[in-house]
Structure 1
Amino acid sequence: MSANRRIWIAGAAAFFLVLLPFANFAKTNYGDGSFISINFAWFVLQTVPLVFAGVVALVVLLHLSASRYASHSLSRALITVSGAFFLLFFYHYPYHQLLPETVDEWIPVSLYFVLIAIFAALLFRLARHSGALIAILIFATANFTLALPSLSGTAIEATQTVLFRYANSGNPSVIAAESRPNVYYFILDAYGSSTAIRQNFGYDNSPFIEAMEERGFYHAGEAISSYNRTVFTLASIFAQDYFIADEMTLAEWRQRRLTYPALLNAHVPPSLVADARKQGYEFFLVGNYWAPCAGPWVSCYAEAEGSAYLADVFWSATPSLVISAAARSGDADEVPDVDAMGKLRKRLEESGAPLTPTFTFVHHLSPHAPYLFQADCSLRDEYELDLDGWPESAKPYFLDNLLCANLSAARIADEIIALDPDSIIVFQGDHGSSFTVDWDKPFDEWPPASVQERSSILNLVRLPEACQSWLAPDLDNVTTIQAVMGCASGREPVRNNPRGYLTTFSRENPDHGQVRRIDPTSFRALPKGSENRRAMAKP
């Protein structure tokens, strides 16, 4: 094989090997709300040329260093450098999947660099053979080709997003679009009612409730969660309805991506987002590490960070984060992203209240585990990351998380009211705590105290005076979002019958995969079939 042909083959293989991480990034992150934006174009324009320039520089350096003693040094240098670059992006998998969490990160980083160096040396030797060059080219092109269907799907979804976000619906409404109040809808994960907090923790939460009432919030003291699990409660808010009823199975709804956060990447926009858009609202979501902002239908405040955010995601598959962390000597260990209220507060401090109608949905992971915070919101030195365990010993830590959530809620409420006094604000639990819940027991055997602990929630709603008729002490998640959107759009009040449902995590529970309606007065599961008999229907 001629030298020129070798260079062309090696160059093509190198191009695809270097491009593959970018293709994989697009393939695996196309649902990220910050991906479908002008910032991704900036990310590509800034990062790709820099990466290729760095690869070329290393190729030239290796070529000049090896040309004196190695034949075909340029083609071999192309394969060696690009192959080593390609291998960098496999670091994340072996470290997080194969190694124990107790291993110091510097140990696998060092070993990985040694393995890359050994592999690069082998590539340099193999690349002198024409057959090896052709095999590497086939490998690189085949992998890139496999990513093309997903890349095509990304392009289609991006087009759908643009059409959805910028289409002018022109729907008439009672309130002119420019005069619509901004909406701030906060979910405080696992925040139960004052009664449940008093019964389970011996803590009187009434001073916080009274302080929020003085700020103009209505306290729905009899509120229960529409469902007793986050994935279903938040899904019901985005559906603006009880999307799973008595004796219906859950599997179909999971498959159709109607639970949260899967619904953010569904093929059609959630009802709440579509409704908000029709009323002239831009819809922003502030998430957390369990359920970050994602999908084509919502906007993410992370976009304000531009391509730096995307670059962090891209390079997170390599050892670069360990190296960059070492450069920031004195930084605390990285903590999970749970403080969604803090992220929004930072946004408000930097940019002020939105100038155009905006619906901001905020999923704040506290007071739920991980128990990161002291009562004054300072960080703990140690914490548990278990999201499912509710041991009795964790009660003091949960209560500290709750007290910190109170401080954060009051603080951001004051800032929003000062910046945006006519806005609609909601602070709401998606379910309560689970310290007394036995998820393995059939629903009929759940004691009322456990049902109340898990299903009664905090619900604080601040609506404009013209919308006060929507308010009632038993507002649940669904009827609250219906009231918020009714007020925001100028619709006449419609009072649905609030209700809550039980579900279970445990596959040991004979009722697993089912939902059962709750009697909100006795806090017991209603008999099967009561939904159809309308046992709880109000006249």
Structure 2
Amino acid sequence: MVRRVTAFHPFLFAAVYVLYLAAENPGGYEVGDLLPVTATVLAGVGLVYLLASLAFRQPNDTLLPALVTLLAVVFCFGLPQLTQSFRGGPRNPASVAIAVLGIVAGGLAVRWLARRPGRLQSASTLLTLTGTLLVVRFAADIVADQVRSRRIVAESDLVRELAQPIPGPPSAAPPLRDVYLLVLDEYANATVLRERFGYDNRPFEDSLRALGFHIPTTVRSNYFHTILSLPSLLNAAHLHRVGDELPEGVTDPALVNRLLERSRVASYLKARGYRYVFFPSMWWNSTRWAPLADSVVQVWPGFKPGQAAFRTEFRRVVQEGSALRYLTRRGPWDADHVRRTLGAFKELSSVNDPVFAFAHVLSPHSPYVFDRECGTPSSSAAADRKEGYIGQLECLNSMVLDVATRLLLDSEVPPVIILQGDHGTSTLRYSSAPSAELVPADAARERFGAFGAYYLPDSGEVAFGDTVTVVNVLGNVLRHYFGADLPREPDERYLSLEGSAYEFHRDVDTSAVAPPRRLRRSS
């Protein structure tokens, strides 16, 4: 019995890997996804253990198969961490040499312990105890994170404030126009594309203008990160106060996710007879759910193992950190989901009720799964930041233009169509700055430079003018078309780095050399 218990250590260490990733990435997983991911990993470990047991053909000896299985677990989850340290990854000769040495050393260790049953028993006992303690430790961290997240949301003044209904007429004045919001992740504006990529996006923009779209001269995001830009857009409100409400060092997005899920813009339109149609993103947690939605369009019907393997952010993180990254191809699934989402989005005009539709398309953001002709890019193009981005952008342009054309042709009442980038690109690596207040002006300008194009019938472009920031886009729509009594937000921009997204510094002028002024936390 003792030998069987002490043979359990490979399963424990595999579980440690999964739980560690969850504990270190609060908000980067769904609680309901943690169990199936862990179970799948443990099933894989069980298969390796079974094969090892058959190879040794010693029914009463569980310790040697367990040790071999543990080495397989270490190789599976340790190899990617090793290869990332070398240019070229697993193809680098140094990576290959170290991997071979590791396998040889592991084999020698197994042989040495196989001849010393007492030491094998002691090592197995120590490994089992260590694995058990680590599982308990990371499981406790996860529970503590969940409790803290719920408390932060429950105590948030900002959540309570934005939960209040936006004042306005009790009903929408005719004609009832559909409102279509299509967010294109990391789609940069024309200035950024020209300056950073040497790319001229005028053909696409001119095609949109020919359809009647208004493209302001200046469009900017107010935040560097999607996790902030989207809830500010969907609530028509600034979110920099989040930095005052969260404890120092907290990176959990639970608070801003709550604001995104409970969008007050969506609530305003629903209260006036609009049907909220939501298109979940393929895997990004923050736009995978919308509790307020009347309809959730799942563009992948049924269940397919290949789709399910990449369906959540956490599953991708687990695979990316293991040897599975070399055995699986997610690109075709990513491309298929974008095609299906845009294909379903352009059919929205067939819905009888007035519609507010929201889709967050994870493109032209990496991974780069389209070339300029919407085929599969070469491996070199997909790995090149500029070539991959522009190829994907050109493909996306053609698909988005098709969506806009179809919606306009099929709509009896001219709709409001919002094509919005959440922020610009980051080729200048803004997040490598020592602090947010020291982000170079050109890097900030690149990141804030978001794309925006708006179809605004009945002179709606007057509400937008020639300069717009993301936080005011939907507020402009509500004020102009629905009479909302909603004050316009300041066009202020807030800088923050990856890993400290809620440590804000207010930008004074992204074209100036002087560093931005630092915000003081409230006491």
Q: TM (normalized to structure 2)?
A: 0.63
Number of residue pairs matched?
463
Deviations along 1:50-77, one digit per CA (max 9) or x if unpaired, are 43652552354255x246xxxxx42324
Q: Are 2:184 and 1:184 aligned? A: no
- Is the partner of 1:406 in helix, strand or coil? helix
What is the match of residue 380 of structure 2?
382
The percent identity for this pair of structures is 13
Alpha-carbon deviation of 1:426?
1.9
- Go from structure 1 to structure 2 and tell me whether the alpha carbon gap of 1:98 and 1:487 turns closer, same or farther (over 3 Å shift): same
Q: Does 1:483 align with 2:447?
A: no
CA deviation after TM superposition for structure 1 residue 480, in Å: 0.7
**Aligned-pair Cα RMSD in Å:** 5.8
Which structure would you say has the larger Rg? 1
Aligned twin of 1:221:
216
For 1:124 and 1:29, locate their aligned partners in 2 and report how far apart those are by CA, in whole Å.
39
Please report how far the alpha carbon of residue 41 of structure 1 lies from its aligned counterpart in structure 2 after TM superposition: 5.6
Q: Secondary structure at the match of 1:426?
A: strand
Measure how far apart 1:139 and its partner are: 1.3
Kindly indicate whether the alpha-carbon contact (under 8 Å) linking 1:470 and 1:493 is maintained by their aligned counterparts in 2.
no
Q: Could you say which residue in structure 2 is the equivalent of 1:269?
A: 258
Letter aligned with residue 209 of structure 1: E
- 1:286 is matched with which residue? 281
Following superposition, the deviation at residue 142 of structure 1 comes to: 1.2
Q: Give the partner amino acid of 2:88.
A: E
Cα distance in structure 2, aligned partners of 1:436 and 1:146: 39
State the SS of the aligned residue for 2:136. helix
Tell me the residue number matched to 1:95. 82
Partner amino acid, structure 1, of 2:322: T
Q: CA deviation at 1:496?
A: 2.4
Give SS of 1:475's match: strand
Tell me which residue corresponds to 2:324.
320
Which runs of 5 or more structure 2 residues have no equivalent in the other structure? 155-162, 271-275, 291-295, 498-503
Cα deviation for residue 209 of structure 1 reads 3.1
Alpha carbons 1:182, 1:357 under 8 Å: kept = yes
Give runs of aligned pairs for residues 111-150 of structure 1, distance below 5 A: 113-122=103-112, 124-125=114-115, 128-129=118-119, 130-150=121-141
Report matched runs for 1:8-407 at 5 Å.
Answer: 8-13=4-9, 15-24=11-20, 26-28=22-24, 31-32=27-28, 35-37=30-32, 47=40, 50-51=43-44, 53-55=46-48, 57-58=50-51, 60-62=53-55, 65-66=57-58, 73-77=60-64, 79-101=66-88, 103-104=90-91, 107=96, 113-122=103-112, 124-125=114-115, 128-129=118-119, 130-153=121-144, 174=170, 181=178, 183-187=180-184, 189=186, 191-193=188-190, 197=194, 203=200, 205=202, 207-217=203-213, 219-227=214-222, 229=224, 236-237=232-233, 240-243=236-239, 264-266=253-255, 269-270=258-259, 273-275=262-264, 278=267, 281=276, 286=281, 293-295=284-286, 298=289, 307-309=308-310, 313-323=317-327, 343-349=337-343, 358-365=357-364, 376=373, 379=377, 382-383=380-381, 403-407=394-398
How far off its partner does 1:516 sit? Answer: 0.1
Provide Cα deviations, 1:363-391, integer angstroms capped at 9, x if missing partner.
Answer: 5336xx9999765456366348687xxxx
Taking structure 1 as the reference length, the TM-score comes to 0.62
Using the alignment, how far apart are the partners of 2:73 and 2:211 within structure 1?
A: 56
Separation in 2, partners of 1:515, 1:56: 56
Letter in 1 for 2:204: F
Letter aligned with residue 428 of structure 1: Q
The 5-angstrom pairing of residues 420-439 of structure 1 reads 424-429=416-421
Unmatched tracts of structure 1, length 5 or more: 68-72, 164-168, 326-333, 388-393, 506-511, 532-539
User: 3-state DSSP class of the match of 1:270?
Assistant: helix
Determine helix, strand or coil for the equivalent of 1:224: strand
| Distance apart, 1:155 and its partner CA | 6.1
Q: Which residue of structure 2 lines up, in the alignment, with residue 328 of structure 1?
A: none
SS in 2 for 1:98: coil
Q: 1:104 Cα deviation (Å)?
A: 0.8
Amino acid paired to 1:275: R
CA distance in 2, matches of 1:298, 1:269: 10
Deviation at 1:269, TM superposition (A): 1.8
